[in-house]
A and B are shown apart, each in its own frame.
Chain A
Amino acid sequence: MIRLENLTKLYGSFVAVDDVSLTIPAGELFGFLGPNGAGKTTTLRMIAGILRPNGGRVFIGDDDVHERPLVAKQRLGFIPDRPFVYEKLTGAEFLRFVAGLYGQEGDAIERRIAELLEVFELTSWRDELIEAYSHGMRQKLIISSALIHRPACIVVDEPMVGLDPKAARLLKDIFRQFVDRGGTVLMSTHTLEVAEAMCDRIGIIQHGKIVASGTMTEIRRQTSSGDASLEELFLRLTGGAELRALAEVLGGNGTAAR
């Protein structure tokens, strides 16, 4: 379970995340949506213990990430949007290193490394330096590293970026199976079709505040939107008027696009 209580983050006087409270129970895949700069990545990085909040608390299970970080983080797997990894390690060395950070080693981990590399079709690359990997391969490696210690919760920022259709499908299946077995996934994404198809519940964040949260049916009811699609709901909640203005600029006099 992941629980956020009145989470707030300021950058100088700018409020990036504003008093966000949220509970994601075990066995749920929660989609976190919002326009660029709305506060999604900041929220996820606070949950992962990378950023310190100015107010509020983050719980993984019963443990506060900032008060009992070592215990809370044992249960967490984090997948960032920008995969910076150690370029001069091989794929297998990187996974072994990450397992070591979680205090895990030995034959079980070697088997787990082999298993994950196999699943993500990286076995033939296991002993090659990461600097030779493509963006998508790095993304697969980072996803493997987040799964290596068998976490109870996964926090993932834009997981589909750079993945080929096969890998994207594989990831969806992995996340689905993970929550079906009682795991918790908090996933931020811009791909609304993915969110609509995969997520049990969805939260939409705008200007650091959650403006709507719940199942698709609940959000439609909250916004009195009939049977609107997620895309329509998203645009309505996050500034569809701006999008129309943008369309006019791009297509209006026909010169800019040419």
Chain B
Amino acid sequence: MMQPSLAHVLQPKWRTALQRMREERQNGAGKLVALSIVAALFWLATFGILYFVLRYFRGVEELGPLLAGKLLGLVLLSFASILVLSNVVTALSSFFLAHDLDLLVSAPVDWLRLYLAKLGETLVHSSWMVALMAIPILAAYGVIYHGGWLFAPYAVATILPLLVLPAVVGTAVTLVLVNIFPARRTRDLLSIIALGAAAGIVLLLRLIRPEQLARPEGFKNLLDFITVLRTPTSPFLPSEWATQAIMGYLRGAIDPLPLLLLWTTAAAFVMLGALLHRELFAAGYSKAQEGAERFVKGGAWNWMLHVVLSRLPVAKREFVLKDIKLFFRDTTQWSQLILLAVLVVVYLFNIKALPLHRGEDVGFFHVTLVSFLNLGLAGFVLASIAARFIFPAVSLEGRHMWLLRSSPLDLRALLWSKYWVGTLPLLALALLLTGVTNVLLEVKPFMMIVGLVTISGLTLAIAALALGFGALYPQFETENAAQIPTSFGGLVYMMATIAVLGAVIFVLWQAVYSYVRAVYEHQPVVVDSWMIGWFALAAVICGAATWVPLWVGLRRIEQLEF
């Protein structure tokens, strides 16, 4: 029987992508312009930093190319590790949980085409961000080492197999896992493993303090240092082959072996992956249809929540209870708390590691400045957390709006519940971050009070902005909450929040500066009308940034049609 071509099997995917792009274009150029600016800024920053690092390396005799090669090896190794993790998670969706699978599996499409189509889909979904990230990095190498225009296609030919290999490995891991556990359990398991691994890497990288390793004086002699640099991380790692291929080309000593190794290994892996797929997919796919979780635990928790919330009106109470239950029963949502905990630890560790109280007497000015700037940084961290947890709140209600809109629920109650369910934990975290940081910095009571009050005001505003922008740019079709913050609306929200943070920090600095000056000049600190005026202005900004987004969000939800 004649088989459909691979392009035919993939047709719905690329046609959908094209249609999405067409719709985006029809919606106006504003979004495209904003995204292009952000992407260009990001690329420029990455390119710029690497350009200066590599230019410095090039100036170092002998060691320069070795250092540049080592750096590229590290970057590519990190990319490959991230890609394996991300492919494992993506393969689970594309091979076992996607909506189009029923159609494809029930159609007379052979196993090889199905495998290649889904492998391609997995590869694109999990690798596009890494591929984009690689462009400015490789461009910097090309520019510094005068790779010429031909370097671009050469780099693509080198990187492509490096993307294929993790996709095959990730897919194979998922295939085996699904045959051992049911798919939905596997998804839960994987999201915890992936987040745990990511958190572990972040923690490890921070705790070993890589900045200390950058000092060559730590090595006994120069020869030791060069030996370490010359040794490849492992001669069997594809990322090492890619590094050799690229650095060889840039040094003008082209060796075809690494490139050949990359391509032949990728081809062999695809073949082995396909054979594994032939053996295991049918059984795994069948198993993936089973195994939804049936029973719930946590009766004591539920009872406690009911008691705590008993004073709320019934509609609000049931809404809050529902939101809390859904959050803790959805592994893709609660597991993000692991990453959050690590983020807090790293944050506090960084503050503790600051050389402010080491031996020499660092001035009161520096401590106050760090404590003050910490407000902005903490605000940024809180904004990122709100993007993860509060921004998707309205989007996640999309499919259930028929129920909420056909019931006599006041939409203000809906927004109220969403706001406080998100804000209260965020506020606790904000106070913890600022309070502990200020204790570590040994700031004076004045700055402690200013810090805690400001971060409280900022948290109320940040949560309102997240909810408001989440309602303005809802993503009703997305099933995975973790994807919602990476949308265009998420970007606009982050920009707006950074603007608010900047405004509040600027305004407060006027007041704090007069306090710092008074203490510095050994004058008594006078809380005068000047200071009060600036504090009041900061409060007005926070108030407006809380009220306006909530009001706009409410209007938007009222107008939404489903």
Using a CB–CB cutoff of 8 Å, the interface residues on chain A facing chain B are: 45, 48-52, 69-74, 76, 78, 80, 84-86, 88-90, 93, 96-105, 127-129, 131-132, 145
Contact = CB atoms under 8 A, between A and B. Distances in A.
Given A52-B561, A100-B317, A100-B318, A78 B330 contact: no
B295 interface: yes
B294 interface: yes
Contacts of B401: 50
Contacts of B326: 86, 88-89
Given A48-B406, A100-B315, A129-B329, A86 B294 contact: no
Given A128-B295, A129-B329, A70 B410 contact: yes
A129 to B, nearest CB: 6
Nearest to B322: A97
Contacts of B16: none
B304 interface: no
A129 B296 contact: yes
B325 A78 contact: no
Given A127-B295, A127-B296, A132-B294, A105 B314 contact: yes
A73 B315 CA distance: 14
Given A50-B402, A93-B322, 18 more contacts: A48-B402, A48-B405, A50-B561, A52-B559, A70-B410, A76-B406, A88-B325, A88-B326, A89-B326, A97-B321, A100-B317, A101-B315, A101-B318, A101-B404, A101-B407, A128-B294, A129-B295, A132-B293
Interface centre among A49, A86, A102 (most CB of B within 10 A): A86
B408 interface: yes
Interface centre among B318, B402, B405, B562 (most CB of A within 10 A): B402
B43 interface: no
Contacts, number: 95
B269 interface: no
Contacts of A69: 408
A54 to B, nearest CB: 11
A78 B402 contact: yes
Nearest to A69: B408
A173 to B, nearest CB: 24
A72 to B, nearest CB: 8
Interface centre among B325, B329, B406, B410 (most CB of A within 10 A): B406
A103 B410 CA distance: 11
Contacts of A73: 406-408
A51 B402 CA distance: 9
B358 interface: no
Contacts of B295: 127-129
CB-CB nearest 7 A-B residue pairs? A100-B318, A78-B406, A48-B406, A84-B399, A88-B329, A101-B407, A73-B408
Contacts of B318: 96-97, 99-101, 105
A89 B410 contact: no
Nearest to B413: A101
B300 interface: no
30 contacts: A45-B402, A45-B562, A49-B405, A49-B406, A50-B401, A50-B402, A50-B561, A51-B561, A70-B408, A70-B410, A71-B408, A72-B408, A78-B402, A84-B400, A85-B400, A86-B322, A88-B325, A88-B329, A88-B330, A89-B325, A89-B326, A96-B318, A98-B403, A100-B318, A101-B407, A128-B294, A128-B295, A129-B293, A131-B293, A132-B292
Given A48-B402, A88-B330, A89-B322, A102 B292 contact: no
Nearest to A128: B294
Contacts of A103: 313-315, 408
B486 to A, nearest CB: 23
A79 B321 CA distance: 24
Nearest to B407: A101
A69 B317 CA distance: 21
Given A48-B402, A86-B400, A101 B408 contact: yes
Nearest to A93: B325
Nearest to B329: A88
B558 to A, nearest CB: 9
B409 interface: yes
Contacts of A85: 400, 403
Nearest to B399: A84
A70 B405 CA distance: 10
Contacts of B315: 100-101, 103
Nearest to A50: B405
Given A97-B322, A127-B296, A80 B330 contact: no
A94 to B, nearest CB: 9
B319 interface: yes
A137 to B, nearest CB: 12
A50 B295 CA distance: 32
B533 to A, nearest CB: 43
A129 B325 contact: no
Contacts of B408: 69-74, 101-103
A181 to B, nearest CB: 22
Interface string B342-373: 00000000000000000000000000000000
A140 B321 CA distance: 23
A51 B296 contact: no
